[in-house]
Structure 1
């Protein structure tokens, strides 16, 4: 899916932010002066419904890239010449490459596996150490694969995207490598013991593929098999079973979806002695059918369409319901976690959330499962285990009033790594043996001076009366002094929750300098479960934007900031939110950061993975939905005569999820209309707009320099 920059979604079908004296005088950040008739031609073309900027959709087109390079040069010259840029860049690099960061790991078969990047290993190291050593502070890592060395040896711009290893010994793994960070990637079989790619092993060429192990010599694959093998969204529509030692062309077809589907993918769960495998057919982004592979073929599970399958354990298929469901006369509520007994077909209720409580993650293991919850956006962790009279849930004791995230679970032992953090307290990592108590084992370094920094939760009232929570983080002295430069971040889509986490870069580059940072928990997200998300789908989407505006107005009413000092930031779907905010309420804002955005909502479904998102936004091919999209599409609602704050667009050429043409075309239209803007397109980097830590540091330094200068936090 199109997730927020720097955040991850828990949804299984994830197809899953940041700049010099910026002056509005003289050139004012304008692009090259448009030709005398450029504006008139653009106005007429847009009025006629003819897109005059389609040439910018040619991702690698020479004319398009010439325009990109010119805009990059113009914008970078201004931003990087600001006195604050170099210090901010150095600070961001120091934080991102710190050797004292907590190494995030996965747990399996007695080992902790980690992917590590720093200033020496720019592309990164895939490595491991025994779990026992990791939890007791060990520092000796065994390098499995050096991505920098591999890229140099093969002459490729490899970005490591993960590894899927086969049980029970987890020796052989399908390693995913993308060129420049794109979603399309190569998958190659790797032998950990030999520290080498397997000669004549499983291999999938560059594509948006999915794989699942069904045994040490059996791989389920969904990829580009040639003509008519992809959906209109660009994802696989065929799943095959490939046996070791046979040719790729001989793989057995298990399932074929339709071209109109979002895609089909294989899945599997290791039960302790064998794999239980299946296929998920995503008919829309939210409606799926799950099949198990049996000796008699594929068997459809009876779940309703809006269901997320978490995995299979102890003969139960564990799932979260994103709709109310009545099955065999029993009602199961929206947001509940259930288990389907694969032997007798019975349904067990494992957990049903209360009002203002939402399940965020469900992770099964042999013996039970872990659930993370949001209770009025405060994190909680539960362990659920089956008992003779039903499922028993126990709260795992962790600090209150913060964000709780599962880091890793050993699927066989139930050993758990879980973290706690809040905006002024760095992440603390806890380790718990199954059935034990959590023990703090590692803490993230203090990356900024948080003394005196406070986080407060407030509520705004949206246009329809809905209460919208938001969090404000700043030095208490800044809040007491009155209006201050503020960045308000928002996303509002795809059931992705935006939480008040610790960010060393935001703290050092923004809060330490006297800025205020705000996150808005608007509808469309998952902070209060599926209903909170579904309230803003398709033609109801204006509610999301009204929620965001209500938070902005509340900040101004409380004297936290002023319109001239209020900047907003969002990426991907949040980039659409920024575009709508720019065109609908330019009076509220002094700066707008628009990252890897959707902006042309009348053609989004024709660009890259866009067709997969009609379940979220609606379809331009359906009259009622198109009529609504016409009212919000930023590209089509840009007013030649309006007075807009100067936005900063940032995107990536290599983003093969959200087309860079969205940002290019909107910026070009502003150029023709004579509106000031800044633009930076990373030539690589994928949907995260950065392919490595150095590029992330540049993105963050540009972002905070832009906001600081535009909102008056930084001196010229």
Structure 2
């Protein structure tokens, strides 16, 4: 067995471990920007990049990915503000991006006349900062001032600065927050809600604001009046002014856990608790009606409103014991609500029906909600991109595994729509097919999954196959078109599989809750079941099967790799959680105890410890040569997870690969060039492991 100490000595990177814990010799790698930790990461990068970049497919895949990701033929997705179209755009000339706008009429044309508002590349050069766009929040309804977010290297923490849309300049002595995870939202032109997150007293254990304050123009942040305060153990406290035509509601949200909320209506200087179930979500306000998405059954009086329903009642009635609820929609057993939007006169519900998209419109007429299914393309994924609350206009996107994304402009009431633009076909889909299968999990639950097969496919058990899943936080994975996956994988003979395992939201809250905390193993069982089903159907074999996941999906593939290494020959584990003994002590990790449990509680650690990859990886295991990726600037999931897992596996004698982007945030890449580079690395690795070159390395 080759110990990691020998590897480090060879690379000249052996570090004194001054912070070593007796049971975790790699604790020093949690020092994100520590000299020794960064030297270790750079050493691993050099070792792994030498291997991956030498593959003959790396450069052509990298170049094609960069061409696709920076192409002018991509859809410039709209954001409606004040009747105009806004868009943030990156390409090979604008690596950091430009914020721009155009008229609705111009946008409908083939070549819109864009007016650049802010050039982030020029700003970064002028201010000598590594700026990455972190979004904007503009004041309704005038849209004259915006709070612009700028992140250093792609981290969640960002600088927030007031920007004047008329002068195209940042406002001198305007509202400004230094780099942090502070929150700030508009109240009116001269005041904002702010949640500072600088000192230990100001933040929760998860690192988010624990207070809401009113900050008035011309005063110091320290003088902002505190109007609400949460607990130290909360996930966070947040605030927003919700507009409903000419009316508005100030809502404060206290999140004791990731999945529970207390909602307060802030009126006349007082926070009044709304009577809403702790696990419900507010989905919007329209014509004085508050929309509530139920995550569990809710009994009001003698009537029980079922889990998964979207209900509504007058806003003020939620201050009483029994709001006058009405049901807009109760999804069926194989359906779920995948998003709620509002226009001036309609509620739009994005419905998943057996993981295929539908779009429903609800209008209130004569005191009753009326439903209409809108005419949209079938058998694909539908997503509302932006909606106008001063008309019934909205834009939606349609996509599928073999169908390039197409953008439509529509009317939520008149049920009219027209295609605005579509991306080109980045790869030749002739002869490719999509099928949907089900696999039986360990407890008998049937788990659906999609299979995309390349041209010339035969079920001979020798197809290089990439299986992707997420399985957490009620996030739904739906069909989507990827030019990079198509050119790098499908066109080169690979099979792509997307699994809808439990923990996600594909079939509503129950599908998510089925894999919470003590039931987490079900998500891993589901992925294993799909893997075994792929082999049983002779689609592939363990020698040719790889899995890929990021964040919670990184935990998923890490756990499954440790439990069933015999099933896979490649594992792509991106920005992952892996050390589940310490996840709640690292960055935003404490906020996820609602999903995984509390490792400090012996009863909960008992089940977490059964699957935690970092604790369960063994020197005796025969694991595939996994590829771990992370980012130094990821301030959501700590890079220490991936670092320590790789260090432990190398120390145990396993051969693994590692790449840490020194910037990039939780997405792993801060700009399109970095995304293309990472794509080149991942697909070159997968071809090496799962194609003909990978056969000789099976189980290695």
Q: Does 1:306 align with 2:279?
A: yes
Residues 601 and 707 of structure 1: CA distance in aligned 2, closer, same or farther (over 3 Å):
same
Provide closer, same or farther for how the CA distance between residues 434 and 557 of structure 1 changes in structure 2, counting only shifts above 3 A: closer
Establish whether residue 319 from structure 1 lines up as the match of residue 265 from structure 2. no
Deviation per CA, 1:388-428, whole angstroms, max 9, x where unpaired?
Answer: 25211111111111111111111221311011111101011
2:610 paired with 1:627: no
> Matched residues in 2 for 1:94 and 1:156: separation?
26
Deviation at 1:481, TM superposition (A): 5.3
- State whether structure 2 residue 460 is matched by structure 1 residue 472: no
Unaligned residue ranges in structure 1 (runs of 5+): 1-25, 37-44
- Aligned partners of 2:562 and 2:617 also within 8 Å: yes
Question: Which residue pairs with 1:23 in the alignment?
Answer: none
In structure 2, the residue matched to 1:8 is none
Q: Secondary structure at the match of 1:283?
A: strand
8 Å CA contact retained: 2:154, 2:665: yes
Can you list the C-alpha shifts for 1:497-550, whole angstroms capped at 9, x where unaligned? 011111110000000000001011000000000000000000100111000000
Equivalent position SS for 1:404: strand
Who is 1:605 aligned against?
584
Give the equivalent residue in structure 1 for 2:377. Answer: 399
SS, match of residue 631 in structure 1: coil
Superposed displacement of residue 49, structure 1:
7.0
Listed as ranges, the matches of 1:195-344 within 5 Å are 195-224=168-197, 226-295=199-268, 297-344=270-317
Give me the whole-angstrom Cα distance separating, in 1, the residues matched to 2:473 and 2:142. 36
Q: Distance in 2 between matches of 1:583 and 1:307?
A: 35
Q: Does 1:364 align with 2:342?
A: yes
Aligned counterpart for 1:57 among listed residues 3, 20, 30 = 30
Given the superposition, is the C-alpha separation of residues 365 and 172 from structure 1 closer, same or farther in structure 2, using an over 3 Å criterion? same
SS of the aligned residue for 2:245 comes to coil
- The C-alpha deviation readout for 1:48-87, integer Å capped at 9, x for no partner, is 9711110000001111111101000000011111111110
Match of 1:707 in 2: 686
Q: Secondary structure in 1 aligned to 2:134?
A: strand
1:499 to 474, 478, 483: 478
Aligned CA distance change for structure 1 residues 461 and 293 (closer, same or farther; 3 Å) = same
User: What CA distance in whole angstroms lies between the structure 2 residues aligned with 1:655 and 1:530?
Assistant: 28
DSSP 3-state at the match of 1:233: coil
The Cα shift of 1:451 comes to 1.0
Give 1:225 deviation, angstroms: 5.2
Of 386, 393, 406, the match for 2:364: 386
> Structure 2 matches for 1:656-671, cutoff 5 A?
656-671=635-650
Aligned length: 681
- Aligned equivalents of 1:225 and 1:604: distance in 2? 22
Does structure 1 residue 485 correspond to structure 2 residue 464?
yes
Q: Does 1:572 align with 2:551?
A: yes
Number of the residue aligned with 2:390: 412
In the alignment, structure 2 segments of 5+ residues that lack a partner are 11-18, 318-322
| Structure 2 counterpart of 1:539 | 518
Query: 1-side partners of 2:239 and 2:449: how far apart?
Result: 38
Relative CO higher for 1 or 2, CA cutoff 8 Å, sep ≥ 6? 1
Of 318, 325, 349, 1:347 maps to 325
> CA, structure 1 residues 49+310, in 2 after alignment: closer, same or farther (shift >3 Å)?
farther
SS in 2 for 1:639: coil
Q: Tell me the secondary structure at the aligned position of residue 457 of structure 1.
A: strand
Partner residue in 1 for 2:123: 150
Give 1:169 deviation, angstroms. 1.5
* Secondary structure in 2 matching 1:334: coil
Show the 5 A alignment for 1:94-133.
Answer: 94-133=67-106
Deviations along 1:593-620, one digit per CA (max 9) or x if unpaired, are: 1100000001100000000000000001
CA distance in 1, matches of 2:199, 2:650: 41
- Please identify, of 517-526 and 470-479, the stretch whose mean Cα deviation from structure 2 is larger: 470-479
Structure 2 residue 519 is matched with structure 1 residue 551: no
Residue 16 of structure 1 aligns with which residue? none
Distance (Å, rounded) in 2 between the aligned partners of 1:698 and 1:125:
21
Q: For the Cα contact (< 8 Å) 1:515–1:713, is it kept in 2?
A: no
Find 1:523's aligned residue among 492, 502, 514: 502
When the two structures are superposed, what TM-score results if normalisation uses the length of structure 1?
0.93
Tell whether the 8 Å contact from 1:31 to 1:74 is kept in structure 2 after alignment: no
Per-residue deviation, 1:453: 1.1
Q: Distance in 2 between matches of 1:166 and 1:61?
A: 40
Change (3 A) 1:337 1:147: same
Aligned equivalents of 2:581, 2:664: Cα separation in 1 = 26
Q: Are 2:545 and 2:570, in contact at CA under 8 Å, matched by a contact in 1?
A: yes
Q: Where does residue 428 of structure 1 map in the other structure?
A: 406
Match of 2:167 in 1: 194
Residue 373 of structure 1 pairs with residue 351 of structure 2: yes
- Alignment of 1:586 with 2:559, yes or no, is no
| Cα drift, residue 30 of structure 1 | 9.4
Asked whether 1:78 is paired with 2:66, we answer no
SS at match of 1:632: coil
Q: Tell whether the 8 Å contact from 2:361 to 2:412 is kept in structure 1 after alignment.
A: no
Matches within 5 A, 1:671-686: 671-686=650-665
Alignment check: 8 A CA contact 2:346 2:412 kept: no
- Larger mean Cα displacement after TM superposition, 393-402 or 647-656: 393-402
Instruction: Give the deviation of 1:216 after TM superposition.
Output: 1.9
Q: Report the Cα distance in structure 2 between the residues aligned to 1:244 and 1:442, rounded to whole angstroms.
A: 42
Q: Is the 8 A contact 1:513 1:713 kept in 2?
A: no
